Amino acid sequence: MSDIKIKSAFISVFNKEGLDVIILKLASQGVRIVSTGGTYNFICELGVEATKVEDITTYPSILGGRVKTLHPGIFGGILARRDVPEDLNQVEQYNIPLFDLVIVDLYPFEETVASGGTDQAIIEKIDIGGVSLIRAGAKNFKDVLIISSRSQYEKLLEMLENNNGVTTLNERLFFAGEAFNLTSNYDTAIFNWFNRDSHSVCFKHSLTTAEHLRYGENPHQQGVFFGDLGVIFDQLHGKEISYNNLLDIDSALGLIDEFDDITVAILKHNNACGVASRATVREAWDAALACDPVSAYGGVAVLNRPVDEEAATEMDKIFLEVVIAPGYTGNALEILKHKKNRIILLRKKVVQTHETFRSMLGGVLWQERDNANEAEADMKPVTDVVPTKEQFDDMVFANRIVKHSRSNAIVLAKDGQLCASGIGQTSRIDALKQAIEKAGAFGFNLDGAVMASDAYFPFADSVETAFNAGITAVVQPGGSVRDKDSIDFCNNNKIAMVFTGVRHFKH
Protein backbone atom coordinates (compact mmCIF):
# COMPACT_ATOMS: atom_id res chain seq x y z
CA MET A 1 0.00 0.00 0.00
CA SER A 2 1.57 3.28 -1.13
CA ASP A 3 -0.56 5.82 0.76
CA ILE A 4 -0.85 5.52 4.54
CA LYS A 5 -3.09 7.46 6.89
CA ILE A 6 -1.30 8.48 10.10
CA LYS A 7 -3.24 6.95 12.98
CA SER A 8 -0.51 6.63 15.63
CA ALA A 9 2.73 8.46 16.39
CA PHE A 10 5.76 7.97 18.58
CA ILE A 11 7.25 11.32 19.65
CA SER A 12 10.41 11.92 21.69
CA VAL A 13 12.45 15.08 21.16
CA PHE A 14 15.18 16.99 22.97
CA ASN A 15 14.23 20.37 21.52
CA LYS A 16 10.51 21.16 21.82
CA GLU A 17 10.59 24.33 19.69
CA GLY A 18 7.83 24.30 17.09
CA LEU A 19 6.46 20.95 18.29
CA ASP A 20 3.26 22.39 19.79
CA VAL A 21 1.69 23.13 16.40
CA ILE A 22 2.39 19.58 15.23
CA ILE A 23 0.95 18.03 18.40
CA LEU A 24 -2.24 20.03 18.18
CA LYS A 25 -2.72 19.16 14.53
CA LEU A 26 -2.17 15.44 15.20
CA ALA A 27 -4.64 15.57 18.07
CA SER A 28 -7.26 17.25 15.89
CA GLN A 29 -6.94 14.37 13.44
CA GLY A 30 -7.39 11.76 16.16
CA VAL A 31 -3.82 10.44 16.08
CA ARG A 32 -2.81 8.33 19.08
CA ILE A 33 0.46 9.53 20.62
CA VAL A 34 3.07 7.65 22.64
CA SER A 35 5.83 9.70 24.20
CA THR A 36 8.66 9.86 26.73
CA GLY A 37 9.59 11.93 29.78
CA GLY A 38 9.84 15.64 29.03
CA THR A 39 8.08 15.32 25.70
CA TYR A 40 5.16 13.52 27.37
CA ASN A 41 4.87 16.34 29.92
CA PHE A 42 5.03 18.93 27.13
CA ILE A 43 2.19 17.20 25.27
CA CYS A 44 0.03 16.96 28.39
CA GLU A 45 0.55 20.66 29.11
CA LEU A 46 -0.99 21.35 25.71
CA GLY A 47 -4.11 19.54 26.89
CA VAL A 48 -3.50 16.60 24.56
CA GLU A 49 -3.82 13.00 25.71
CA ALA A 50 -0.77 10.76 25.29
CA THR A 51 0.51 7.39 26.46
CA LYS A 52 3.74 7.10 28.45
CA VAL A 53 6.36 4.85 26.92
CA GLU A 54 6.66 3.10 30.29
CA ASP A 55 3.06 1.93 29.96
CA ILE A 56 4.13 -0.08 26.90
CA THR A 57 7.59 -1.27 27.97
CA THR A 58 6.63 -1.79 31.65
CA TYR A 59 10.10 -0.42 32.49
CA PRO A 60 10.85 3.03 33.88
CA SER A 61 13.54 5.28 32.41
CA ILE A 62 16.77 3.93 33.96
CA LEU A 63 20.48 4.70 34.22
CA GLY A 64 19.92 8.42 34.48
CA GLY A 65 17.82 8.49 31.32
CA ARG A 66 20.30 6.51 29.21
CA VAL A 67 17.72 3.78 28.62
CA LYS A 68 14.12 4.74 27.89
CA THR A 69 12.99 3.42 24.53
CA LEU A 70 15.30 0.50 23.73
CA HIS A 71 12.59 -2.14 23.97
CA PRO A 72 10.78 -4.51 21.56
CA GLY A 73 7.50 -2.89 22.57
CA ILE A 74 8.62 0.31 20.84
CA PHE A 75 10.90 -0.91 18.06
CA GLY A 76 8.53 -3.71 17.12
CA GLY A 77 5.83 -1.12 16.45
CA ILE A 78 8.18 0.84 14.18
CA LEU A 79 9.88 -2.01 12.32
CA ALA A 80 6.88 -4.31 11.79
CA ARG A 81 6.20 -4.81 8.08
CA ARG A 82 2.53 -4.38 7.36
CA ASP A 83 2.68 -6.66 4.32
CA VAL A 84 4.34 -9.55 6.23
CA PRO A 85 1.71 -11.67 8.06
CA GLU A 86 4.29 -13.12 10.45
CA ASP A 87 5.24 -9.60 11.62
CA LEU A 88 1.61 -8.66 12.20
CA ASN A 89 0.93 -11.89 14.09
CA GLN A 90 3.86 -11.21 16.41
CA VAL A 91 2.93 -7.61 17.21
CA GLU A 92 -0.60 -8.84 17.98
CA GLN A 93 0.76 -11.69 20.09
CA TYR A 94 2.91 -9.35 22.19
CA ASN A 95 0.39 -6.51 22.22
CA ILE A 96 2.75 -4.10 20.46
CA PRO A 97 1.18 -0.90 19.08
CA LEU A 98 2.02 -0.01 15.47
CA PHE A 99 3.38 3.46 14.64
CA ASP A 100 2.78 5.29 11.36
CA LEU A 101 4.75 8.38 12.36
CA VAL A 102 7.97 8.77 14.36
CA ILE A 103 9.18 12.22 15.43
CA VAL A 104 12.58 12.09 17.08
CA ASP A 105 15.56 14.44 17.22
CA LEU A 106 19.06 13.91 18.61
CA TYR A 107 20.99 15.22 21.60
CA PRO A 108 23.08 18.27 20.56
CA PHE A 109 26.45 16.53 20.39
CA GLU A 110 28.18 18.91 17.97
CA GLU A 111 26.87 21.97 19.78
CA THR A 112 28.19 20.62 23.10
CA VAL A 113 31.64 20.06 21.55
CA ALA A 114 31.62 23.52 19.98
CA SER A 115 30.69 25.15 23.30
CA GLY A 116 33.74 23.62 24.99
CA GLY A 117 31.88 21.10 27.11
CA THR A 118 33.74 18.71 29.36
CA ASP A 119 34.45 15.20 28.13
CA GLN A 120 31.72 13.81 30.36
CA ALA A 121 29.18 16.38 29.16
CA ILE A 122 30.06 15.56 25.55
CA ILE A 123 29.77 11.82 26.11
CA GLU A 124 26.34 12.22 27.69
CA LYS A 125 25.22 13.99 24.52
CA ILE A 126 25.94 10.89 22.42
CA ASP A 127 22.42 9.82 21.56
CA ILE A 128 21.76 6.08 21.53
CA GLY A 129 18.00 5.61 21.57
CA GLY A 130 17.32 8.56 19.29
CA VAL A 131 19.65 7.34 16.56
CA SER A 132 18.17 3.85 16.81
CA LEU A 133 14.60 5.14 16.58
CA ILE A 134 15.42 7.31 13.57
CA ARG A 135 17.18 4.48 11.75
CA ALA A 136 14.32 2.11 12.51
CA GLY A 137 11.73 4.54 11.15
CA ALA A 138 13.82 5.23 8.06
CA LYS A 139 14.46 1.54 7.38
CA ASN A 140 10.75 0.82 7.43
CA PHE A 141 9.82 3.81 5.23
CA LYS A 142 7.31 1.65 3.34
CA ASP A 143 5.08 1.84 6.41
CA VAL A 144 6.43 4.66 8.59
CA LEU A 145 7.08 8.38 8.16
CA ILE A 146 10.22 9.47 10.03
CA ILE A 147 10.68 13.12 11.03
CA SER A 148 14.22 13.52 12.34
CA SER A 149 14.63 17.29 12.68
CA ARG A 150 12.49 20.25 13.65
CA SER A 151 13.52 21.81 10.32
CA GLN A 152 11.09 19.28 8.78
CA TYR A 153 8.10 20.36 10.89
CA GLU A 154 6.85 22.85 8.31
CA LYS A 155 6.77 20.20 5.60
CA LEU A 156 5.07 17.75 7.96
CA LEU A 157 2.43 20.32 8.85
CA GLU A 158 1.71 20.88 5.15
CA MET A 159 1.24 17.14 4.67
CA LEU A 160 -1.10 16.93 7.65
CA GLU A 161 -3.18 19.91 6.55
CA ASN A 162 -3.29 19.32 2.79
CA ASN A 163 -3.60 15.53 2.79
CA ASN A 164 -5.50 15.01 6.06
CA GLY A 165 -2.59 13.04 7.47
CA VAL A 166 -2.11 10.75 4.48
CA THR A 167 1.51 10.18 3.40
CA THR A 168 2.75 8.82 0.08
CA LEU A 169 5.53 6.33 -0.47
CA ASN A 170 7.66 8.98 -2.21
CA GLU A 171 7.25 11.33 0.74
CA ARG A 172 8.27 8.64 3.21
CA LEU A 173 11.23 7.65 1.04
CA PHE A 174 12.41 11.26 0.92
CA PHE A 175 12.30 11.66 4.69
CA ALA A 176 14.03 8.30 5.17
CA GLY A 177 16.93 9.56 3.08
CA GLU A 178 17.05 12.76 5.13
CA ALA A 179 17.11 10.67 8.29
CA PHE A 180 20.10 8.60 7.23
CA ASN A 181 21.84 11.80 6.13
CA LEU A 182 21.36 13.14 9.64
CA THR A 183 22.47 10.00 11.50
CA SER A 184 25.53 9.47 9.30
CA ASN A 185 26.60 13.06 9.91
CA TYR A 186 26.01 12.60 13.65
CA ASP A 187 28.10 9.43 13.77
CA THR A 188 30.89 11.10 11.81
CA ALA A 189 31.01 13.98 14.28
CA ILE A 190 31.21 11.52 17.18
CA PHE A 191 33.98 9.52 15.51
CA ASN A 192 36.02 12.62 14.73
CA TRP A 193 35.77 13.72 18.36
CA PHE A 194 37.04 10.34 19.55
CA ASN A 195 39.68 10.41 16.81
CA ARG A 196 40.87 13.97 17.48
CA ASP A 197 44.38 12.63 18.08
CA SER A 198 44.21 10.79 14.71
CA HIS A 199 45.01 7.36 16.10
CA SER A 200 42.79 5.86 13.39
CA VAL A 201 44.10 6.71 9.92
CA CYS A 202 40.97 7.28 7.89
CA PHE A 203 39.13 10.11 6.17
CA LYS A 204 35.69 10.93 7.56
CA HIS A 205 34.10 14.31 6.98
CA SER A 206 30.42 15.15 6.78
CA LEU A 207 29.01 18.53 5.79
CA THR A 208 25.25 18.90 5.57
CA THR A 209 25.21 22.63 4.82
CA ALA A 210 25.52 23.30 1.09
CA GLU A 211 25.43 26.42 -1.04
CA HIS A 212 24.79 26.03 -4.76
CA LEU A 213 27.03 28.33 -6.78
CA ARG A 214 26.23 29.95 -10.11
CA TYR A 215 28.71 27.54 -11.67
CA GLY A 216 32.05 25.89 -10.97
CA GLU A 217 35.47 27.02 -12.14
CA ASN A 218 33.98 27.59 -15.60
CA PRO A 219 30.41 28.31 -16.72
CA HIS A 220 29.90 24.83 -18.15
CA GLN A 221 30.70 23.21 -14.77
CA GLN A 222 28.31 22.92 -11.84
CA GLY A 223 29.58 23.98 -8.43
CA VAL A 224 28.56 23.62 -4.79
CA PHE A 225 30.24 24.82 -1.59
CA PHE A 226 29.80 22.44 1.34
CA GLY A 227 30.20 24.23 4.65
CA ASP A 228 29.02 27.34 6.48
CA LEU A 229 30.50 30.55 5.08
CA GLY A 230 28.67 32.48 7.80
CA VAL A 231 31.20 31.17 10.32
CA ILE A 232 34.03 32.87 8.40
CA PHE A 233 32.47 36.14 7.26
CA ASP A 234 29.30 38.16 6.76
CA GLN A 235 28.60 39.43 3.25
CA LEU A 236 27.66 43.10 3.52
CA HIS A 237 27.23 43.90 -0.15
CA GLY A 238 27.59 42.67 -3.69
CA LYS A 239 26.75 39.84 -6.02
CA GLU A 240 26.64 36.14 -5.27
CA ILE A 241 30.04 34.70 -4.39
CA SER A 242 31.41 32.42 -7.10
CA TYR A 243 33.55 29.28 -7.06
CA ASN A 244 36.63 31.26 -8.16
CA ASN A 245 35.87 33.99 -5.61
CA LEU A 246 35.97 31.37 -2.87
CA LEU A 247 39.34 30.08 -4.05
CA ASP A 248 40.73 33.62 -3.97
CA ILE A 249 39.15 34.39 -0.61
CA ASP A 250 40.69 31.26 0.92
CA SER A 251 44.13 32.21 -0.43
CA ALA A 252 43.71 35.82 0.72
CA LEU A 253 42.83 34.87 4.29
CA GLY A 254 45.72 32.43 4.50
CA LEU A 255 48.17 35.13 3.37
CA ILE A 256 46.92 38.03 5.48
CA ASP A 257 46.98 35.91 8.63
CA GLU A 258 50.78 35.78 8.34
CA PHE A 259 51.08 39.48 9.25
CA ASP A 260 50.74 41.35 12.54
CA ASP A 261 51.65 44.84 11.26
CA ILE A 262 49.08 46.88 9.31
CA THR A 263 49.05 45.06 5.98
CA VAL A 264 47.10 45.09 2.75
CA ALA A 265 47.32 42.31 0.17
CA ILE A 266 45.84 42.16 -3.32
CA LEU A 267 45.42 38.75 -4.95
CA LYS A 268 44.53 37.50 -8.40
CA HIS A 269 44.02 33.82 -9.24
CA ASN A 270 45.15 32.77 -5.75
CA ASN A 271 48.50 34.60 -5.92
CA ALA A 272 49.56 37.92 -4.43
CA CYS A 273 50.11 40.73 -6.93
CA GLY A 274 50.52 43.34 -4.21
CA VAL A 275 51.44 43.24 -0.52
CA ALA A 276 52.66 46.01 1.77
CA SER A 277 52.96 46.75 5.47
CA ARG A 278 52.81 50.39 6.52
CA ALA A 279 51.93 52.70 9.41
CA THR A 280 48.38 53.37 8.17
CA VAL A 281 45.81 51.47 6.12
CA ARG A 282 45.86 54.15 3.40
CA GLU A 283 49.64 53.95 3.08
CA ALA A 284 49.53 50.14 3.02
CA TRP A 285 46.90 50.25 0.25
CA ASP A 286 48.89 52.70 -1.86
CA ALA A 287 52.06 50.61 -1.54
CA ALA A 288 50.26 47.31 -2.25
CA LEU A 289 48.57 48.73 -5.35
CA ALA A 290 51.89 50.09 -6.65
CA CYS A 291 53.28 46.54 -6.82
CA ASP A 292 51.18 45.68 -9.87
CA PRO A 293 48.26 48.02 -10.60
CA VAL A 294 47.47 46.10 -13.79
CA SER A 295 46.87 42.74 -12.11
CA ALA A 296 45.05 44.43 -9.22
CA TYR A 297 42.15 45.22 -11.56
CA GLY A 298 39.34 42.81 -10.71
CA GLY A 299 41.32 41.38 -7.82
CA VAL A 300 40.67 40.57 -4.16
CA ALA A 301 41.83 43.05 -1.52
CA VAL A 302 42.29 41.74 2.00
CA LEU A 303 43.25 43.75 5.09
CA ASN A 304 44.08 42.88 8.67
CA ARG A 305 42.75 46.20 9.98
CA PRO A 306 39.40 47.97 9.50
CA VAL A 307 39.04 50.01 6.32
CA ASP A 308 38.76 53.73 7.05
CA GLU A 309 37.22 56.42 4.81
CA GLU A 310 40.55 57.60 3.45
CA ALA A 311 41.60 54.12 2.37
CA ALA A 312 38.13 53.31 1.04
CA THR A 313 38.17 56.40 -1.17
CA GLU A 314 41.40 55.27 -2.82
CA MET A 315 40.30 51.63 -3.07
CA ASP A 316 37.08 52.67 -4.80
CA LYS A 317 39.06 54.22 -7.66
CA ILE A 318 39.75 50.79 -9.20
CA PHE A 319 37.61 47.76 -9.87
CA LEU A 320 37.98 45.32 -6.99
CA GLU A 321 35.78 42.25 -7.14
CA VAL A 322 36.13 41.40 -3.44
CA VAL A 323 37.13 43.38 -0.34
CA ILE A 324 37.73 41.54 2.95
CA ALA A 325 38.40 43.31 6.24
CA PRO A 326 37.70 42.88 9.97
CA GLY A 327 35.74 46.15 9.97
CA TYR A 328 34.70 49.29 8.11
CA THR A 329 34.81 52.62 9.96
CA GLY A 330 33.07 55.92 9.31
CA ASN A 331 31.65 56.14 5.81
CA ALA A 332 34.04 53.50 4.38
CA LEU A 333 31.35 50.90 3.75
CA GLU A 334 29.10 53.31 1.87
CA ILE A 335 32.02 54.43 -0.27
CA LEU A 336 32.91 50.86 -1.24
CA LYS A 337 29.26 50.15 -2.02
CA HIS A 338 29.45 52.54 -4.97
CA LYS A 339 30.17 49.49 -7.13
CA LYS A 340 26.89 47.55 -7.19
CA ASN A 341 28.42 44.10 -7.66
CA ARG A 342 31.50 44.51 -5.47
CA ILE A 343 31.56 41.76 -2.84
CA ILE A 344 32.25 43.27 0.58
CA LEU A 345 32.96 40.83 3.39
CA LEU A 346 33.23 41.41 7.13
CA ARG A 347 35.66 38.85 8.40
CA LYS A 348 35.09 37.11 11.70
CA LYS A 349 37.76 35.94 14.11
CA VAL A 350 38.15 32.32 13.10
CA VAL A 351 41.21 30.11 13.41
CA GLN A 352 42.06 28.14 10.27
CA THR A 353 41.75 24.36 10.46
CA HIS A 354 44.92 22.35 10.99
CA GLU A 355 44.38 20.20 7.90
CA THR A 356 43.81 20.49 4.17
CA PHE A 357 42.59 17.97 1.63
CA ARG A 358 41.67 17.74 -2.04
CA SER A 359 40.17 15.15 -4.35
CA MET A 360 42.77 13.14 -6.21
CA LEU A 361 42.71 10.08 -8.50
CA GLY A 362 39.34 8.99 -7.22
CA GLY A 363 40.46 9.43 -3.63
CA VAL A 364 41.43 12.17 -1.18
CA LEU A 365 44.87 13.63 -0.54
CA TRP A 366 45.20 14.82 3.07
CA GLN A 367 47.91 16.79 4.80
CA GLU A 368 48.57 19.02 7.77
CA ARG A 369 48.25 22.70 6.95
CA ASP A 370 51.57 24.48 6.37
CA ASN A 371 51.59 26.46 9.61
CA ALA A 372 55.37 26.94 9.69
CA ASN A 373 56.13 30.64 9.99
CA GLU A 374 59.85 31.44 10.12
CA ALA A 375 60.89 34.45 12.17
CA GLU A 376 64.33 36.06 12.22
CA ALA A 377 65.45 33.59 14.89
CA ASP A 378 64.70 30.71 12.48
CA MET A 379 66.93 32.13 9.72
CA LYS A 380 70.48 30.81 9.91
CA PRO A 381 73.13 32.96 8.18
CA VAL A 382 75.36 30.76 5.97
CA THR A 383 77.49 33.50 4.39
CA ASP A 384 80.32 35.74 5.58
CA VAL A 385 78.01 38.74 5.32
CA VAL A 386 75.34 38.69 8.03
CA PRO A 387 72.06 40.40 7.12
CA THR A 388 71.22 43.74 8.68
CA LYS A 389 68.13 44.19 10.83
CA GLU A 390 66.36 45.82 7.87
CA GLN A 391 67.28 42.91 5.59
CA PHE A 392 66.06 40.38 8.15
CA ASP A 393 62.73 42.24 8.38
CA ASP A 394 62.35 42.20 4.60
CA MET A 395 63.31 38.53 4.38
CA VAL A 396 60.70 37.58 6.97
CA PHE A 397 58.18 39.65 4.99
CA ALA A 398 59.13 38.08 1.64
CA ASN A 399 59.24 34.56 3.04
CA ARG A 400 55.65 34.87 4.28
CA ILE A 401 54.52 35.84 0.78
CA VAL A 402 56.45 33.13 -1.06
CA LYS A 403 54.90 30.54 1.26
CA HIS A 404 51.52 31.41 -0.26
CA SER A 405 52.69 31.56 -3.90
CA ARG A 406 52.40 28.78 -6.47
CA SER A 407 55.60 26.82 -6.97
CA ASN A 408 58.14 27.32 -8.32
CA ALA A 409 58.00 30.71 -6.65
CA ILE A 410 60.35 33.64 -6.12
CA VAL A 411 59.46 36.83 -4.24
CA LEU A 412 61.40 40.10 -4.38
CA ALA A 413 60.72 42.62 -1.62
CA LYS A 414 62.07 45.86 -0.20
CA ASP A 415 61.08 48.06 2.73
CA GLY A 416 58.01 46.01 3.62
CA GLN A 417 56.66 45.99 0.09
CA LEU A 418 56.35 43.29 -2.55
CA CYS A 419 58.36 44.42 -5.59
CA ALA A 420 57.46 41.46 -7.76
CA SER A 421 57.04 37.70 -7.74
CA GLY A 422 57.62 34.90 -10.21
CA ILE A 423 55.09 32.13 -9.72
CA GLY A 424 54.03 28.79 -11.11
CA GLN A 425 57.15 28.31 -13.21
CA THR A 426 58.67 24.95 -14.15
CA SER A 427 62.16 26.11 -13.17
CA ARG A 428 63.35 28.36 -10.35
CA ILE A 429 65.54 30.47 -12.60
CA ASP A 430 62.54 31.18 -14.84
CA ALA A 431 60.53 32.27 -11.80
CA LEU A 432 63.33 34.66 -10.84
CA LYS A 433 63.62 36.10 -14.34
CA GLN A 434 59.86 36.63 -14.41
CA ALA A 435 60.01 38.50 -11.09
CA ILE A 436 62.91 40.72 -12.18
CA GLU A 437 61.22 41.59 -15.46
CA LYS A 438 57.96 42.42 -13.70
CA ALA A 439 59.69 44.59 -11.09
CA GLY A 440 61.33 46.57 -13.88
CA ALA A 441 58.05 46.99 -15.72
CA PHE A 442 56.52 48.77 -12.72
CA GLY A 443 59.55 50.94 -11.97
CA PHE A 444 61.02 49.17 -8.96
CA ASN A 445 64.71 49.67 -8.22
CA LEU A 446 65.90 46.33 -6.87
CA ASP A 447 69.16 47.67 -5.45
CA GLY A 448 69.13 46.54 -1.82
CA ALA A 449 66.08 44.33 -2.24
CA VAL A 450 65.82 40.79 -0.85
CA MET A 451 64.84 37.53 -2.53
CA ALA A 452 62.82 34.69 -1.02
CA SER A 453 62.54 31.23 -2.60
CA ASP A 454 60.01 28.56 -1.67
CA ALA A 455 62.63 25.81 -2.17
CA TYR A 456 66.38 25.45 -2.50
CA PHE A 457 68.45 26.58 -5.48
CA PRO A 458 69.74 23.58 -7.44
CA PHE A 459 72.43 25.73 -9.04
CA ALA A 460 74.19 29.03 -8.37
CA ASP A 461 72.59 30.65 -11.43
CA SER A 462 69.71 32.03 -9.36
CA VAL A 463 71.85 33.94 -6.85
CA GLU A 464 74.05 35.16 -9.70
CA THR A 465 71.02 36.48 -11.62
CA ALA A 466 69.64 38.06 -8.43
CA PHE A 467 72.98 39.76 -7.73
CA ASN A 468 73.09 41.23 -11.22
CA ALA A 469 69.60 42.69 -10.59
CA GLY A 470 70.70 44.38 -7.34
CA ILE A 471 69.58 41.83 -4.74
CA THR A 472 71.72 41.97 -1.59
CA ALA A 473 70.09 39.35 0.68
CA VAL A 474 68.56 35.93 0.08
CA VAL A 475 66.36 33.63 2.16
CA GLN A 476 65.83 30.02 1.11
CA PRO A 477 65.34 26.63 2.77
CA GLY A 478 68.70 25.19 1.73
CA GLY A 479 69.19 21.48 1.29
CA SER A 480 70.64 21.20 -2.22
CA VAL A 481 73.70 19.06 -2.86
CA ARG A 482 75.05 22.21 -4.53
CA ASP A 483 74.33 24.62 -1.69
CA LYS A 484 78.06 25.35 -1.48
CA ASP A 485 78.05 26.74 -5.03
CA SER A 486 75.41 29.31 -4.10
CA ILE A 487 77.12 30.11 -0.79
CA ASP A 488 80.49 30.62 -2.53
CA PHE A 489 78.98 32.99 -5.07
CA CYS A 490 77.34 35.01 -2.29
CA ASN A 491 80.59 35.19 -0.33
CA ASN A 492 82.55 36.29 -3.40
CA ASN A 493 80.02 39.04 -4.09
CA LYS A 494 79.20 40.14 -0.53
CA ILE A 495 75.59 38.90 -0.58
CA ALA A 496 73.94 37.86 2.69
CA MET A 497 72.12 34.54 2.59
CA VAL A 498 70.20 32.63 5.25
CA PHE A 499 68.75 29.12 5.37
CA THR A 500 65.46 28.32 7.12
CA GLY A 501 65.48 24.55 6.69
CA VAL A 502 61.76 24.75 5.82
CA ARG A 503 60.46 24.28 2.29
CA HIS A 504 57.17 25.91 1.28
CA PHE A 505 56.04 24.17 -1.88
CA LYS A 506 52.49 25.05 -2.90
CA HIS A 507 50.83 23.26 -5.81
The residues annotated as belonging to the active site are 139, 269
Where residue 198 falls (left for φ over 0; alpha for ψ -120 to 50; beta otherwise) is left
Q: Is 498 helix (H, G, I), strand (E, B) or coil?
A: strand
Beta bridge partners of 103: 11, 147
What's the CA gap between 339 and 297, in Å, rounded? 13
User: What is the signed CA dihedral for 65, 70, 74, 77, rounded to 10 degrees?
Assistant: 150
Q: Is 487 helix (H, G, I), strand (E, B) or coil?
A: helix
One DSSP character per residue, 24-83 reads HHHHHTT-EEEE-HHHHHHHHHTT---EETHHHHS---BTTTTBSS-SHHHHHHHH--TT
What's the CA gap between 262 and 287, in Å, rounded? 12
What's the CA gap between 25 and 36, in Å, rounded? 19
List, in order, residues 6 or more apart from 222 with CB less than 8 Å away. 215, 216
Contact 102, 141 (CB under 8 A): no
